[in-house]
Amino acid sequence: MSIDNNLSAEVDTENLASDHLEARVHRKQMRMAFRMAKEHGHELRHVRDVGWFVWRNGCWIPDPKDAPQNALIQVKQKAMQEVARLNGEERDKLYKDAAILDTANNINGTISIAKALPPISASVEELDPDPFLVNTPDGVYDLRTSEMFPHDRKQMHTKITGCSTFGARDDGLWHQFIEQVLPDPDVRRFAQKILGYSMLGRVQDQIFPIFFGESGTGKSTFLDSVHAALGSYAGLAPTTLLLATGARERHPTEIAGLRGQRLVMVHETEKSQPLKTAAMKNMTGGDRLKGRFMAKDFFEFTPSHTFVLVTNYSPTLDADDDAAWDRIRVVPFIKKFRGEKDENVNLGHQILESDLPSVLQWVLDGYELYEAGGLREVPQAVVDQTREHNQKVDDLTEWINEEVAPAPGQRVLVSAMYEAWRQWAKPQSIPPGRKNDFTARLERRRYRMETEDRQNWVMDVALPVTDSSEIYAGWRGGRPSQCGEQKVNEPGF
C-alpha cells in the first residue's frame, strides 16, 4: 500500500492475529509505530541527522515534508476498518490505540518511535553504498560490467540519472556539438574520461579539473547537458565552498549537500578572488567530510564526488602550493562562437529535448576509457593550458621578476622582502598572505635563508632602492650597506 494512494477498502487480515499478540506487549503510540513500520517499511526510511526518504520510481528520494504523517493517517484508517470487524476486548484495545492519533502530539510521538524501528531506521553508511552502481530510470547500471539490473530497494540508491540510455546515438546532436566545442580529439577524450571518472562514487584520483573558456565557447551548454543527463547525481556548489580571503566560512549545509553526489560543479569565481588551497585539497582528497543540514546534528560521510570548476578567468590560489597545482587540470574551451550565442542556446535546448540519452551514454563510456587508462595520459593542450594558468596566476613570480635582482654576496631582511611584496600586491588586490607563508614560498623557489642575531635574511638578492632621504614607502628608503646588507627603514624611525 502506497502512502500516495487512497486506502483500499479491503483489509489485510492475514497479519491480524500477530498484531493482536503484539497488542499484549505494545499499546497506544508504540503499537501504532510498529504497525507503521510493518505496513509502510517497504517505502519509508529515516536516516538520523539526514531526514526522511520515500521510495519513488526506483529511488529513495528525500521527503520534502509529510510522507510519514500521510503513512500514519493510513495506518489509523486501516486500524479503524479492522475495528469494525473485531469483537470484544481486542476491538476496544485497537480502537483506543488508533484513536490516540487524533492529536498532533501523539502523531509526532508515534513517528518518533517508528523512525527508530526496522526497517524504517537506516544509517548514513547504508545510503548509496556501492560506488560502482549508477541508478537510472531503466534500472541499475554496473560500471564494472556495463550491465543493467532491476531496481532494488535494498541497495538504498538516493540518486538517479535524469534519463535512461535508451535511444542513445553516436551521430546525434550531442556528438555534433562536442566535436564543435572541443575540436581537439585528445582534449575531447580527456574531458570524457574526467566525466566518466566522476561517475565512480569514490575518490580514487586526486584531481581538480577546471573547464576554462571565455563566454561563448559552449562550455556552459556542454556542462548543462551533462548535468541534466546525470540528474541528482550532479549538483552545483557555491563558490564560497572554495573561496579564501574575504569569503564567509563554509556553511556545514554546503558540505552536507555533497553526500551521494558524483559530479559537483562550481561555476565562475570572480576575477582576483583566490581559491582556498586547503579547502580545495580537502574537497578533493578523499578524507571523510563532516556537515549537517538545517536544524540537524552533524554527520560524517565518505566523499563520492568529483569537483569541476567552470570559469572564464584563470583561478588563483591563496597559497603557493605545488601539491595543489599537481591536482589541477585545465581543459580549454577555445573555439569562440562569435554571433552564434542564440544558436548555441537553441542547440542546448534541442539536446535536452531529444538527445539526452546520448549524453549519459557518452559519460558512461567515459568511465570505460578511464578504467582502461586512467587520467595519467594528459593531452599536450591540457598540459600547456595548465602551465600557462600556473604562470599567469603566480603573482609572486611576477613580483620577483620585476622587483628582485640576483646579487651574489648581498642579502635582504625577510621582513623587508615581505613588506616590499605586500606593498606591490596591495594596489592589485592580491592577498599577500602571512609572512611565514611568504617565507615558505621563497624557500620553495630555492632561495637561501640564513639567521643571524635573531634576524632572518634572504641571501644573494637585492631590492631596488632610492635615495635614503625618501620617506618610507614599502621597500623604498632602504639601500645596501657597505657590507652588502639591505634593510628597510621602519615606519616612524
pLDDT single digits (tens) 156-165: 999 999 999 9
Same domain, 222 and 84: no
pLDDT at 316: 74
Same domain, 355 and 419: no
Do the beta carbons of residue 45 and residue 60 sit within 8 Å? Answer: yes
Q: What is the pTM of this model?
A: 0.79
pLDDT single digits (tens) 449-466: 999 988 999 999 999 864
Does the pLDDT at position 427 exceed 80? yes
Whether 332 is covered by a domain: the verdict is: yes
The SS3 call for residue 46 is: strand
- In the chain, % of residues over pLDDT 70: 84
Cβ-based neighbours of 112, under 8 Å, separated by 6 or more: none
Report angle CA 438, 441, 444 to the nearest 5 degrees: 155
| Grid coordinates given for 119 | 526497517
- CATH code (residue 360): 3.40.50
Does the pLDDT at position 136 exceed 80? yes
Region 472-487: mean pLDDT is: 40
- CATH code (residue 452): 1.10.10.10
Same domain, 400 and 387: no
pLDDT at 378: 96
Whether 164 is covered by a domain: the verdict is: no
Same domain, 385 and 399: no
| Type of residue at 376 | R
Whether 134 is covered by a domain: the verdict is: no
Give the lowest-confidence range in 96-105, 225-234, 243-252.
243-252
Same domain, 28 and 99: yes
pLDDT at 428: 83
pLDDT at 465: 63
Distance separating alpha carbons of residues 66 and 469, to the nearest angstrom: 77
What average pLDDT does the structure give for the chain?
85
Whether 78 is covered by a domain: the verdict is: yes
Whether 151 is covered by a domain: the verdict is: no
Domain boundary among 122, 154, 186: 122
Helix (H) or strand (E) holding 385: helix 380-393
Give the lowest-confidence range in 216-230, 274-288, 334-348.
334-348
Region 108-129: mean pLDDT is: 96
pLDDT at 323: 77
pLDDT single digits (tens) 9-25: 343 444 444 555 565 56
Q: Which has more pLDDT, 308 or 468?
A: 308
Same domain, 57 and 194: no
Does the pLDDT at position 300 exceed 90? yes
Same domain, 373 and 402: no
* Biggest CA-to-CA distance, the chain: 111
| Grid coordinates given for 357 | 540519452
CA distances from 324 to 72, 280, 387 (A): 52, 8, 13
Whether 160 is covered by a domain: the verdict is: no
Region 221-235: mean pLDDT is: 97
Does the pLDDT at position 231 exceed 90? yes
Region 275-304: mean pLDDT is: 87
Give the total number of structural domains in the chain: 3
Same domain, 279 and 357: yes
Distance separating alpha carbons of residues 289 and 293, to the nearest angstrom: 13
Structural domain boundaries enclosing 267: 173-392
Distance separating alpha carbons of residues 79 and 7, to the nearest angstrom: 11
Rg (CA), the chain: 31
Same domain, 305 and 400: no
Same domain, 252 and 323: yes
| Grid coordinates given for 382 | 591540457
Whether 10 is covered by a domain: the verdict is: no
Domain boundary among 98, 122, 146: 122
Same domain, 82 and 203: no
Cell match 631596488: residue?
A: 464
pLDDT at 490: 38
Domain boundary among 91, 106, 122: 122
pLDDT at 239: 83
- In the chain, % of residues over pLDDT 90: 60
Same domain, 447 and 357: no
pLDDT single digits (tens) 315-367: 777 666 777 888 999 999 998 876 555 566 678 889 988 999 999 999 999 99
Give the lowest-confidence range in 237-251, 300-314, 344-358, 467-481.
467-481
Whether 149 is covered by a domain: the verdict is: no
Does the pLDDT at position 467 exceed 70? no
